[in-house]
């Protein structure tokens, strides 16, 4: 059953699919040239495969949503809401551009990345696990570990004659032992952090759905007491998992390198310098962060 989403303009879906910052894994099937994105979305205990295809132009886009027949009205509404959030279709990026075009060095970057928006993770558990796995690792090896974790989960859903891998649920991960992840080349601590986070959700110590109603400060207070979750981890979770618009992970080396490159300075800015410089970017620091990361990536 096809449905539609109409994003605010500009919206460059093909560029978004070519620039995933390694946040996408084997659970996602992408054809950037065709503007097609496919993955399974977990709706409670049910897993629903979805394909999204873009039509139109960057300045007048339409997203066609294709999902299986037989979804209830509430399930269809949840798919629609989830995809709108994942692709940030409601965000007025022109307001971001208006803010940043007054900042030195940003005009060229905006022109290069015009219409680009981050793709949010499909659910909050998946997002936090990816951020934890990515702590202090290069993006290629982090992506490899996520692939292995998906393989260990072993869950697939049939969609258009394809067995589509599914990111494992918190319940499934909570049943694993630390050694299960150690066998996949996870460090001992990282295995503990991932599995303990899953168990905290299953045991009711962490209410992921409840985070949506909390302020950024409240989310820091909720998550940072957990082992393996520090400020940078929550910042990336807020950005990629929750789509909060004004987050600046100033300790991130990629952000610091990108700012050094953008401003042509002879030293990499330190965390306090990044925070001070980025104050002028509010309330769009998350989008500025994403564009900075993207400025380090060469796409043919």
Annotated active-site residue in 123, 252, 266, 272:
252
Q: What's the CA gap between 8 and 282, in Å, rounded?
A: 20
Are 142 and 133 a contacting pair, CB within 8 Å?
A: yes
Torsions phi, psi for 159 (to 5 deg): -155, 115
> Does the annotation mark 252 as catalytic?
yes
Q: What's the CA gap between 13 and 59, in Å, rounded?
A: 11
Q: What's the CA gap between 51 and 64, in Å, rounded?
A: 8
Residues designated as active site: 252
């Amino acid at each position: 059953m096809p449905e539609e989403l109409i994003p605010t303009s500009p919206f460059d879906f093909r560029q978004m699919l070519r620039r995933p910052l390694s946040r996408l894994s084997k659970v996602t099937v992408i054809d950037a040239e065709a503007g097609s994105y496919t993955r399974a979305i977990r709706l409670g205990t049910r897993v629903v495969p979805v394909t999204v295809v873009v039509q139109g132009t960057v300045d007048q886009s339409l997203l066609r949503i294709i999902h299986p027949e037989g979804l209830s009205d509430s399930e269809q509404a949840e798919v629609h809401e989830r995809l709108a959030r994942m692709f940030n279709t409601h965000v007025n990026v022109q307001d971001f551009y208006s803010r940043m075009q007054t900042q030195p060095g940003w005009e060229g970057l905006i022109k290069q990345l015009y219409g680009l928006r981050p793709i949010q993770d499909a659910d909050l558990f998946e997002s936090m696990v990816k951020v934890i796995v990515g702590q202090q690792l290069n993006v290629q090896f982090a992506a490899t570990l996520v692939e292995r974790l998906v393989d260990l989960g072993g869950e697939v859903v049939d969609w258009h004659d394809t067995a589509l891998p599914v990111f494992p649920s918190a319940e499934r991960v909570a049943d694993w032992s630390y050694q299960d992840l150690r066998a996949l080349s996870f460090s001992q601590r990282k295995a503990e952090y991932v599995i303990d986070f899953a168990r905290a959700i299953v045991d009711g110590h962490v209410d992921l759905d409840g985070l949506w109603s909390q302020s950024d400060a409240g989310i820091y207070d909720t998550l940072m007491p957990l082992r393996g979750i520090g400020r940078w981890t929550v910042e990336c979770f807020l950005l990629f998992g929750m789509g909060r618009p004004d987050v600046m992970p100033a300790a991130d080396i990629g952000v610091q390198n990108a700012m050094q490159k953008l401003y042509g300075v002879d030293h990499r800015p330190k965390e306090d310098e990044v925070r001070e410089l980025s104050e002028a970017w509010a309330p769009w620091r998350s989008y500025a962060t994403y564009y900075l990361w993207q400025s380090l990536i060469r796409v043919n």
